[in-house]
Structure 1
């Protein structure tokens, strides 16, 4: 099985989701600034990296974990699904793929932090906002990852696209 966490930029909530999925971050505790900033790819990707599918590792069940920034595109993930289905018909690997949207977990502090840090290059404003936003979102992201894993286990579909609307997340 392949898990691909996706959002607008692919560098904040997706990197945190991959880290939670791979058990590189502890759950149910407040993350420190150092833990957040040491997550691989967190706040390190550029706009030019959007669309690049980034490998994060293999989970405890042997499943590959990736992330991708899809920008504003509403057709990027469905396009990847279509491409995968085409390749699957030709090669018949039997591999399942789960796309999970982390965008609903993004708090306002992270949105502005990403704007200042990634878009404007003003890290002294952006990074503290990103850390604050990551701390605010960590529990939601960890929950989203657990729900993604559970749905993946229960689904019999070859390709699953989880939009993870706000009502999907815990209150």
Structure 2
């Protein structure tokens, strides 16, 4: 099985989801500023990295975990799905692929933090907002990852796209 978490830039909410999925963040408490900033790609990617699949490791069951930033494209995830279906059909692979949208977990602090830090390069404003947003939404990230894993165990589809729009998250605005 392959998990691919996606979000706008691929460097905040999907990075948190991948880190949690791989047990690199705590399950029993909100991560510290240092733990968040130590995530391999957290707040480090640029627009040039959008569309690039980034491998983060294998989970406890041996499943590969990736992230991708999709930017404002509404076509990237459907194109990935179609490509994966073609590859699966042509090569009769048996790996399930779960594409999970982490964007519904993003609170306003993280949105503005990303804008200030990544787009405007005003890190002294952006990074504290990103940390605050990451800590605010951490329980939502946990919910998203657990739902993603649960769906992966039960779906009969070879490629499953989770938009997570109906995810029961605590919107913190």
TM-score (norm. length: structure 2): 0.96
Instruction: Please name the residue that 2:51 is paired with.
Output: 51
Instruction: Please name the residue that 1:16 is paired with.
Output: 16
Whether the 8 Å CA contact 1:28–1:139 is kept in 2: the answer is no
Instruction: Please name the residue that 1:102 is paired with.
Output: 102
TM alignment of 1:1-150, pairs within 5 A? 1-150=1-150
Instruction: Please name the residue that 2:157 is paired with.
Output: 157
Structure 1 residue ranges without an equivalent (≥5): none
**The residue matched to 2:132 in structure 1 has which SS?**
helix
Residue 170 of structure 1 and its aligned partner are, at CA, apart by: 4.1
Between the aligned partners of 1:7 and 1:30, the Cα distance in structure 2 is 21
Is residue 169 of structure 1 aligned with residue 161 of structure 2? no
**The residue matched to 1:111 in structure 2 has which SS?**
helix
**The residue matched to 1:9 in structure 2 has which SS?**
coil
**The residue matched to 2:11 in structure 1 has which SS?**
coil
Whether the 8 Å CA contact 1:113–1:128 is kept in 2: the answer is yes
Whether the 8 Å CA contact 1:81–1:159 is kept in 2: the answer is yes
Could you list the runs of 4 or more consecutive aligned residues of structure 1 that deviate by over 4 angstroms after TM superposition?
Answer: none
Structure 2 residue ranges without an equivalent (≥5): none
Whether the 8 Å CA contact 2:105–2:169 is kept in 1: the answer is no
Between the aligned partners of 2:168 and 2:24, the Cα distance in structure 1 is 22
Residues 85-105 of structure 1: per-residue CA shift (max 9 Å, x gap): 111122111111000000000
Whether the 8 Å CA contact 2:55–2:67 is kept in 1: the answer is yes
Whether the 8 Å CA contact 2:4–2:66 is kept in 1: the answer is yes
Residues 16-62 of structure 1: per-residue CA shift (max 9 Å, x gap): 00000000101231211001100110000001100000000000111
